[in-house]
Structure 1
Amino acid sequence: MKITAILAAVLMVLALRVDAAANVTLEGVGFGAVREVNGKPVSLKGAGVITYLGIFKLSVAAFYLPKGIPADLALTDVPRRLELEYLHAIKKEDFAESTRVWIRKNTSETAFERLGPEIERFNRLYENVSPGDRYTLAYDPAVGTTLSLNGEEKGTVEGAEFSAALFSIWIGKTPLSDKLRAGLLGLI
Structure 2
Amino acid sequence: MKAPIVILCLLCFALTPPAASHGRSVQGVTFLERIQAGDATLTLHNAALLRYLKVIKAYVAALYLPEGVPPQRVLTDVPKRLELSYLVSIKGSDFGKGAEPVLRRNLAAEELARLRSRIDRINAAYRDVKPGDRYALTYLPGRGTELTLNGTPLITIEGADFAAAYFGIWLGRRPIDDTLKNDLLGSG
Which TM-score tier does this pair reach, normalised by the shorter chain? 0.7 to 0.9
Aligned residue in 2 for 1:162: 162
Which sits farther off after the overlay, 96-105 or 42-51? 96-105
Task: Say if 1:81 and 1:10 are closer, same or farther in 2 by CA, change over 3 A.
Answer: farther
Aligned residue in 2 for 1:171: 171
Map residues 38-117 of structure 1 onto 2, 5 A cutoff: 38-117=38-117
Matched pairs, number: 176
Q: Which amino acid aligns with 1:95?
A: F
Question: Could you tell me how far 1:84 is from its partner in structure 2?
Answer: 0.4
Unaligned runs of 5+ residues in structure 2 are 1-10
Task: State how far apart, in whole Å, the 1-side matches of 2:17 and 2:43 are.
Answer: 21
Task: Say if 1:35 and 1:108 are closer, same or farther in 2 by CA, change over 3 A.
Answer: same
Question: Could you tell me how far 1:10 is from its partner in structure 2?
Answer: 6.1
Aligned residue in 2 for 1:28: 28
Given that residues 48 and 61 in structure 1 are in contact (C-alpha distance below 8 angstroms), is that contact kept between their aligned partners in structure 2?
yes
Name the SS of the counterpart of 2:125 in structure 1.
Answer: coil
Bigger-Rg structure (1/2): 2
Task: State how far apart, in whole Å, the 2-side matches of 1:93 and 1:51 are.
Answer: 20
Given that residues 47 and 186 in structure 1 are in contact (C-alpha distance below 8 angstroms), is that contact kept between their aligned partners in structure 2?
no
Task: Say if 1:121 and 1:187 are closer, same or farther in 2 by CA, change over 3 A.
Answer: same
TM-score by length of 2: 0.88
RMSD between superposed Cα atoms in Å? 1.8
Question: Could you tell me how far 1:176 is from its partner in structure 2?
Answer: 1.5
Given that residues 43 and 67 in structure 2 are in contact (C-alpha distance below 8 angstroms), is that contact kept between their aligned partners in structure 1?
yes
Unaligned runs of 5+ residues in structure 1 are 1-5
Task: State how far apart, in whole Å, the 2-side matches of 1:80 and 1:12 are.
Answer: 32
